[in-house]
Structure 1
């Protein structure tokens, strides 16, 4: 009887993927030692379809009179200009953001005149990469002050709304086919959702093609820390946002990751991170409201195991693969070519790949790296 009830429950709670889901990777190309082509081929080899990167307003505003590519932006510029295109199988997401030493003292724009200068930077970028960049993300974690520094005053929300509005208009004027997103909030944090909802009520959705989210969960309560719990929360967030707007809202997970440092830093073991990343990717691929997922990030940013910011990479600093990278390399070709369906009773999970097979797991159980590799390889045979 239990088996029949479980089967009925599973069948009543399906999620389905839509075609053309981008599974991408965040990079810091301007900090890497090799060429953009090297990293483009490396990323393509792992099966990712998109790269999230960019450079700040301040890095190209070399004086008040002009903007230009600098030594600090050469690698990213080479990628956006030359390597990145659909024929290579890797598109890009450009993050537009941060202040100017000339116009905003390195902080947030504080008035419309300063925002208009920011929009000049937006126009410069879009003109340079017209037809080469698929996505533009307007600012990164505005609410948190990422990239701004301490002591910088965040202006009222209507100025941010004006910034998004004017940036959107400029992007679409130059490149109507570009997809424009904004938000970069963590939907697991009530205060960030409240902030976004306030902007939506003021008309944000008229100036974006979707909302970007950063649903990091490694420091969250246990109920939402694992991929299953995270997606229960994200599903609720999406339902609430759609109700508020009266329409389905495309969501782009432009940052998500599991640091592999010490427990002190919020980190987990390489094996646990690999398991979480595989589960999360499968669950994301089965949600029709999610249009893209970019893992943060490609390469560890340092070697300090107690610093979580050093340990988000799918690769070590020497570019050798962690377990998660190997599993994704096996999994991503399957996701790109097939429809994905997830059914669950929030304990037993069944991910079906149309016409191929299934991946199953029980929430709360830990599986070894070899077990996950076997589960994925069965779909490849």
Structure 2
């Protein structure tokens, strides 16, 4: 009985915190309602049951867009033949039924080109471009938002680390083809990893890939919006809200001071903190709630267009693995306090 009372008391405190935060933002930021809240999910290889559970949870959480991978390797399984997996159509239709839009990430390598690595050769870039245009055309009228790659600078998708100049080449090939396939498509570029912003705040690991990218000549003609992944998990408990606000402000200023990008919408397509027991980067569930609330406040203050929490659900029940514990929901689908906080903002 005592434990039950403590649990109820804890949830009341969480809800009170969330509601007071939401009211504060509304009073301080008249344009806060313009921020679109999204969440990262994993659907491309999911079953119907998991798709249904995921979409229902995202809709119940008050999100408006779900962001998920639509990898090249799943569309071109035979060289030269492009086919969308039927369950992707099912996922898009299920999302619509729950009032959700989709943002699809065009990403990762294909074993038929450049040995499955990042598309760098002329043939591979052309094939990637064709895949992207095919996908955009297939979902015309059903999916508006697309993103070219996810963290090009990293080895995601079992690929090699990428250079910003090579990413620019891919963007300049792919973007026009996507717009030709569907002029109404909204195409995001960027989405470099966290370490490429660290030079802005003099962190030890200094990389300026993102800065090189946004300052690439002519980039403004190949982007409808700029995508950011401003994770801040270095010494996360040391005044994180203040540090994050400063960090995000510097990144946004870099974009908005770049000729041609001043008026481009800025989307945070990933932001989050993991609740693992990793002593270096893990935080408690209540800290995750607080940090996300303050991150959303900063995002609204800066007038960004959208913020996507990474991610909806923990990737596994291994509480020691940092990469598997960013979820607002635990792996068993039970809600963390952060999910209740976001849901209260509707």
Normalised TM-score (structure 1): 0.75
2:216 and 2:317 mapped to 1: Cα distance? 44
CA contact 2:40–2:309 (8 Å) conserved in 1: yes
Matched residue of 2:115: which SS? coil
- Mark the structure with the bigger radius of gyration: 1
Residues 27 and 299, structure 1, Cα contact 8 Å, conserved in 2: yes
How far residue 36 of structure 1 moved from its aligned partner, in angstroms, is 2.7
In the other structure, the counterpart of 2:198 is 189
CA distance in structure 2 between the aligned counterparts of 1:211 and 1:192, rounded to whole angstroms: 21
The answer (yes or no) to whether the contact 1:96–1:137 under 8 Å persists in 2 is yes
Distance in 1 separating the partners of 2:263 and 2:253: 8
1:62 aligns with 77
Asked if the contact 1:238–1:249 (Cα under 8 Å) also holds between the matched residues in 2, the reply is: no
| 1:213–1:254 Cα contact (<8 Å) kept | yes
Provide the rounded CA distance (Å) in 1 between the counterparts of 2:273 and 2:237.
14
Q: Which residue in 1 is equivalent to 2:20? A: none
4+ runs deviating over 4 angstroms: 220-223
Q: Please give the alpha-carbon distance, in whole angstroms, between the structure 2 residues aligned to 1:111 and 1:146.
A: 19
Instruction: Select 2:90's aligned residue among 78, 87, 98.
Output: 78
Q: CA deviation at 1:109?
A: 1.3
Are positions 1:270 and 2:279 aligned together?
Answer: no
Of 54, 60, 68 in structure 2, the residue corresponding to residue 39 of structure 1 is 54
Distance in 2, Cα, partners of 1:322 & 1:65? 44
Q: CA deviation at 1:145?
A: 2.4
Give CA deviations for 1:163-186 in whole Å, capped at 9, x if unaligned.
111211111112212211111123
Once the two structures are TM-superposed, the CA of residue 15 in structure 1 deviates from its matched residue by 6.2
Identify if the C-alpha distance between structure 1 residues 228 and 51 changes in structure 2 by more than 3 Å, giving closer, same or farther: same
Matched, 1:298 2:308: no
Give the superposition deviation at 1:258. 0.8
Are the counterparts in 2 of residues 258 and 267 from structure 1 also a CA contact under 8 Å?
yes
| CA positional deviation for 1:105 | 1.0
Tell me the TM-score normalised to structure 2 length: 0.82
State the Cα distance separating 1:64 from its structure 2 match: 0.8
Q: Equivalents in 1 of 2:144, 2:334: separation in Å?
A: 29
1:53-83, CA deviations, whole angstroms, 9 ceiling, x for partnerless residues? 022111221111302234xxx5444212x12
Write the deviation string for residues 110-153 of structure 1: whole angstroms up to 9, x where unpaired: 2222101001110121111112222111000001122134xx36
Kept in 1, the 8 Å contact 2:103–2:145? The answer is: yes
Residue 19 of structure 2: aligned partner: none
Equivalent residue runs for 1:39-188 within 5 Å: 39-70=54-85, 74-80=86-92, 82-85=93-96, 88-149=98-159, 152=160, 154=162, 157-185=164-192, 186=194, 188=197
In 1, Cα distance between the equivalents of 2:247 and 2:206? 14
Higher strand share: 1
**Rounded Cα–Cα distance in structure 2 between residues aligned with 1:280 and 1:161:** 29
Q: Distance in 2 between matches of 1:182 and 1:24?
A: 17
The 2-side partners of 1:135 and 1:192 are apart by 31
Distance 1:95 1:31 in 2: 14
Cα distance change of structure 1 residues 181 and 193 upon mapping to structure 2, 3 Å threshold: farther
Q: Conserved in 2, the CA contact under 8 Å of 1:251 and 1:292?
A: yes
- Picking from 332, 335, 338, the partner of 1:318 is 332
CA shift in 2, pair 1:265/1:311, >3 Å: farther
Contact kept in structure 1, 2:319 and 2:325, CA below 8 Å: yes
**Distance in 2 (alpha carbons) for counterparts of 1:124 and 1:55:** 12
Moved more, 260-269 or 132-141: 260-269
Deviation at residue 192 of structure 1 after TM alignment: 7.7
The CA RMSD measured in Å over matched residues stands at: 2.3
Q: Report how many aligned residue pairs link the two structures.
A: 309
Residues 46 and 328, structure 1, Cα contact 8 Å, conserved in 2: yes
